[in-house]
Amino acid sequence: MYCFWQTSQTPCDFCKNILVVMKNLLSYSLLVCLLYLLLWPVPISPVAWDSPEPPSMTGIYAKNDYLKNIEVFWENDGHFGPEDIAIHDGNLYAGYHDGLIMSSVGEFYNTNGRPLGMMFDANNNLIVADAIQGLISINQKGVATTLSTKSDSDGISLRFADDLDIATDGKIYFSDASDQFGYGEDRIEVMEHTPNGRLLVYDPETELTTTLLDNLYFANGVAISPDDSFVLFNETFMYRIQKYWLKGEKAGTSEIIIENLPGFPDNISSNGKGVYWVALFTVRNDFIDQTADKPFLRKLALRLPEFLQPQPEPYAFALGIDGDGQILHNLQYGANDAYSPITSVKQYGDELYFGSLTHKGWGKIKAPE
């Protein structure tokens, strides 16, 4: 029997039927896929916004390989994601994806959450912004105390405690990245692009938490000036850094000091000498920028398998700025072997220490002059 499977002659009736079935299956499959992409419910209500044209990677943002030789430590301890680090009495502390906080001498404490920003206070307690547990304090004996799980001024619970800094009077300024989406849902947050973040302060004297600013676009890094006159904080998904005044005529007000950054600003820290180190998670993403005014496309993209959704480019990136947003240092390295994503940069002495949300170890390199 001749058929089109074997020759170019007219296919037999059996093969014709097979072809019809295959065409119908293909049509139905395409229809189902189309309906899924158009109608399947997703947990966001994306809004249109104006994304500025990304700045050129020249001039103050000129590409360079300064971060190529970051030295990485603690890669083989079975954990990953040392998002932030803190050094106290010569010991380094890092918080990992599984909730464990490791120190140079071994396991320190497990929050059973996700420790992010961390810093020691004047009483040698490790203060941690835990994305799941809230704001917690851990003493040197490994005993933890929950400081805050909600804002006492508005009653809204902490959903995504992110980063912190401590003023000389002991007040803890910290961010709640989103009061709508929790840890692990930042991909959803960037696709929706609504202002769900907050800047807050915890007062150890009154044990009360107050919301200072809300309606922020993924409030992230927090850093206080050496004289406690202002606090800088990052809005990751708006590519900008704001200043909130704590003292003086402008106290209680905020202003943008730098915007349209070439990447997504994550944590920020002060070196105590006028330099604020900004960790950029990665460079800007073309899809995110180009669909800023097309919320339907962002909603559609969220229905795709995660591996087909926009992915961060492996890119090590950190900026040093002053309190007015002027660029002082531009450190980069864009390659597949880059230490990335960088989520925190802290300077101790003449060295920079790097944390990462997904890397296995923390990094270190000599700070620029």
H or E segment to which residue 280 belongs: strand 276-283
Strand, helix or coil for residue 314 = coil
Planar angle of CA 48, 61, 190, nearest 5 degrees = 25
Rg of the chain over Cα atoms, rounded to whole angstroms, equals 24
- pLDDT band of residue 37 (cuts 50, 70, 90) is low
Q: What is the pLDDT of residue 254?
A: 98
* Beta-bridge partners for 23: none
Q: Indicate the CATH number for domain 41-366.
A: 2.120.10.30
For the chain, give the mean pLDDT: 92
Average pLDDT over residues 294-316: 87
In DSSP terms, which residues pair with 192 in a beta bridge? none
DSSP letters for 233-260: EEEGGGTEEEEEE-SSTTTT-EEEEE-S
Question: Exposed, middle or buried by CB within 10 Å (0-12, 13-18, 19+), for 23?
Answer: exposed
Predicted pLDDT at 16: 66
The kind and range of the H/E element at 93 are: strand 91-95
CA distances from 182 to 96, 113, 114, 209, 330 (A): 17, 12, 11, 19, 31
Q: How many CB atoms lie within 10 A of CB 309?
A: 14
Name, in order, each residue with C-beta under 8 angstroms of 324's C-beta and a sequence gap of 6 or more.
Answer: 257
pTM, two decimals, is 0.90
For residues 158-181, average pLDDT: 97
CB 246 within 8 A of CB 232: no
CA distance 171 to 244: 15
Residue written as tokens 């992230």? 220
Using alpha carbons, list the distances in angstroms from residue 221 to 175, 186, 277, 302, 309: 7, 15, 10, 26, 25
In the prediction, which pLDDT does 45 show?
Answer: 83
Task: Give the distance, in angstroms, between the CA of residue 254 and the centroid of all CA atoms in the same chain.
Answer: 22
Determine the 3-state secondary structure of 143 from DSSP. Answer: coil
What is the Cβ-side half-sphere exposure of residue 356, based on CA atoms within 13 angstroms? Answer: 25
| % of the chain surpassing 70 pLDDT | 90
**Cα separation values, 285 from 65, 99, 282, Å:** 20, 29, 8
**Tens of pLDDT, residues 72-94:** 999 877 889 999 999 999 999 99
Q: Which of 182-186, 242-246, 272-276, 285-289 has the lowest mean pLDDT?
A: 182-186
Residues 113 and 103: their CA atoms lie apart, in Å, by 17
- Per DSSP (E only), the strands in 105-207 are 106-110, 115-120, 126-130, 134-138, 144-148, 161-166, 172-176, 197-203
Q: Is 15 helix (H, G, I), strand (E, B) or coil?
A: helix
Half-sphere exposure of 122 (CA within 13 A, CB side): 8
3-state secondary structure of 94: strand
Instruction: Give tens-digit pLDDT for 186-231.
Output: 888 988 999 999 999 999 999 999 999 999 999 999 999 999 999 9
- So what's the pLDDT on residue 217? 97
Which positions ≥6 away from 268 have C-beta within 8 Å? 163, 220, 221, 222, 223, 232, 233, 234, 241, 276, 277, 278, 279
Instruction: Report pLDDT for 36.
Output: 47
Taking alpha carbons only, the member of 97, 101, 176 closest to residue 138 is 101
Element holding 210 (H helix, E strand) = strand 208-216
Furthest C-alpha separation in the chain: 94
Instruction: Please state the domain extents for the chain.
Output: 41-366
